[in-house]
Amino acid sequence: MKETRKMKFFFVNLSLIIFLITRPLAGINSAMIGQKTLKSENEDRDLLWYSDNLTPEDRKKIRTAMDHAIPRDRIIEDLIQGHAIKIATPIGANQLGYDPTIQVREYNPNKALDLMEEVFGYRYNASSDLAKEREYYFEMELMSPNTRVDRMEWAALITKSFSDIGIDVTLHYISWNLFISHIFELDEPGLDYAHGGYDGYFIGWGLPPEPDLTNFFMRENMPPIGCNTAYIINDEVEDILIRSVNELELTNRLLALKEFQQWFQDKNPYFIILQGYNLWALDSNLEGVDYTGLNYPNYRNWTHPTESLITVQSPSTFFNMNPLITHSRYDFLAMRDNFDSLINRYPQNLTEYYGNLAESWTISADNLMWTFKIRDGIYFNDGTKLTVDDVIFTYEKLIDPDVDVRDQRFYMTHIKEIKKIDSHTVQFTLTEFYLYMKSLFTVPILSKAQMEQIPSVEWKNDADTNTKYAPMGTGTYVMDKANTDVSKGVVTMILNPFYDGSLRDPAGQFKNPNLIPTIKVKVYDYDIYHCVKDLTSDALDIIDSQSGLSARGQYIDEINRSNCCKLHTSLEWGHQELVINNCSPIWGMNPNGTTKIPNTNTSMTSTTTSTNMTSSMSTEAIPSISVPSFSFITSLSLLIVLLIYKRKHEREF
């Protein structure tokens, strides 16, 4: 009897020990681990942050599985009527260094499930009789801005495909402004959607013909400074990309770009969906539109034989009209031609530049000193004269930590010193050689006299329309405040009375004697129906290429049948992608090594097979019911039974 009591005591306490040991592993199938550890010394890491319970190879397998689950052919052929091509890396088919031998992973859900099974130990099957096989591996929350119909639709299609391979995805369609706040204004990188962050998002990025990818992959270029929103930190890719922007010899530069594409294909840090064709719909008589997308809109080149007012569709609401602060293409639709820069790209040759505000410039033999002579007789739209001080002020604000310039600040780190030589000459000294330095001098120049009236820390949210929505420029147009209502999505621009195009273009290369007097930019959100209706009835003159028109074949046919409209298509300078946040709760931890705020509304497992989506107008995450994992419930139940048993028989012990 004594031995029996000893055995009972041994097994009860052994059970308690097992519970305490196994409890931290509860919910491992979800990969949503609350506590993370920074493994910076692991030589096999492909990204810096990862969960204790997912090795770097596990995470790579998951990403590869997700890549195999993206139905690119269906998106291109069925959804957007063939208006795209497949590419495997961020370098597009029309860009320097593109390597066609780097192949896109095939759509293969079975291979995706094989990889997931290798990681999690069971094969997801929504129709299985076994409850275990119906459990999702983990959950993700993805975002898509509600600015493009086609992107919203392929986001939903990809979300469903991820669901089919065992990932429970909630897709949030949100406004552009809210979308930007999640990406660039989160308190710390590891936050989930409910706390202002993201697990992943759908977006399109534009890149020039000679792509500089350091903005997207260098560790010092994480938000809010730059666009490394995947939070990648990898010595190998940084070395490759530094060579790609520092090599004067083209052969070596091409080799570095090839190495980058091989690295991207191997590591698969996030997913390139496609490279699209820009599809424009416009008034048949509207000419001079720059279809490259890099210099768009260039209203100063537009002409129309009869119209004095041209209405342009914007797919999104406006964020901020200060060109230093915004990084929204949709804001530039409304104000880019209100400003001039030192130099600009040639419309027909995007790798070459011409002087705009700069009459001339010289470069030192070591390429570290750039000296610009400013044209005389240039005026802001209030009649005040442009000086070198305005140029210096603008560039100093780009490196001012009080100014929320975000993705431009990284490039400005190349500038060591800005010096005023005389009233018409400014000199920039660089910290090191940078191959694409000319692109830094395409920054729109602001008026020092106007902008210094308000502390720069307040520029972003200041209610004064002069600093947030109507800063002064020297460009062709100026905002017509009387006919502008940003809150209602209407911005109207009229000709700048102090603009003299001949001073910017003394050779007459871009001379336009028939400038359109008034440009109105009107927000239509993702309402393609009314866009086409207004275009064909002469109430709208151009549908923007980012509207997602390619996803509406019936409207394309309607435009083709119309005598008043025309279509134009060109391969975009950029690509569409699904970025994953590599320090989100799924993949690892934030850069400073602290544990992320737990999401108490996050479901650990799910038995539903439907895709979760929030309303396109939602500004808040819809909380899901928290369901503890099966292993945790089992362990907890066992503990309760054992405690009751122990209490009942405590006298025997």
pLDDT of residue 28: 28
* 580 close to 284: Cβ distance less than 8 angstroms: no
pLDDT of residue 468: 65
Q: For the segment 228-275, what is each residue's pLDDT rounded down to a tens digit? A: 999 998 999 999 999 998 888 899 999 999 999 999 999 999 999 999
Q: Which residues contact 70 (CB under 8 A, 6 or more apart)?
A: 107, 158, 161, 271, 273, 578
pLDDT of residue 549: 86
**CA proximity to 451, closest of 501, 374, 500, 389:** 389
* DSSP character at residue 595: P
pLDDT of 26 over the 90 cut: no
Read off the pLDDT band of 636 (50, 70, 90). low
d(CA 232, CA 221): 10
Read off the pLDDT band of 439 (50, 70, 90). confident
**CA proximity to 382, closest of 468, 449, 286, 463:** 449
Helix/strand/coil for 214: helix
For residues 419-441, average pLDDT: 91
d(CA 336, CA 494): 13
* 196 close to 172: Cβ distance less than 8 angstroms: no
pLDDT of residue 651: 41
d(CA 135, CA 123): 9
Out of 137-146, 412-421, 505-514, least confident range? 505-514
* 579 close to 269: Cβ distance less than 8 angstroms: no
For residues 457-463, average pLDDT: 71
Q: How far is CA 114 from CA 28, 69, 166, 228, in A?
A: 18, 12, 11, 30
Burial class for 592, CB neighbours closer than 10 Å (0-12, 13-18, 19+): exposed
Out of 268-277, 418-427, 638-647, least confident range? 638-647
Q: Which residues contact 23 (CB under 8 A, 6 or more apart)?
A: 632, 635
Q: For the segment 467-495, what is each residue's pLDDT rounded down to a tens digit? A: 666 789 999 999 998 999 888 899 999 99
Out of 51-65, 399-413, 593-607, least confident range? 593-607
Radius of gyration over alpha carbons of the chain, in Å? 28
| Higher pLDDT among residues 553 and 498, named by residue | 498
How many other CB atoms are there within 10 angstroms of residue 554's CB atom? 9
pLDDT of residue 606: 27
**CA proximity to 342, closest of 361, 322, 365:** 361
- The answer, yes or no, to whether the previous bond of 224 is cis (omega within 30 of 0) is yes
Tokens of 512: 């336009």
* 141 close to 193: Cβ distance less than 8 angstroms: yes
Mean pLDDT in the chain?
Answer: 80
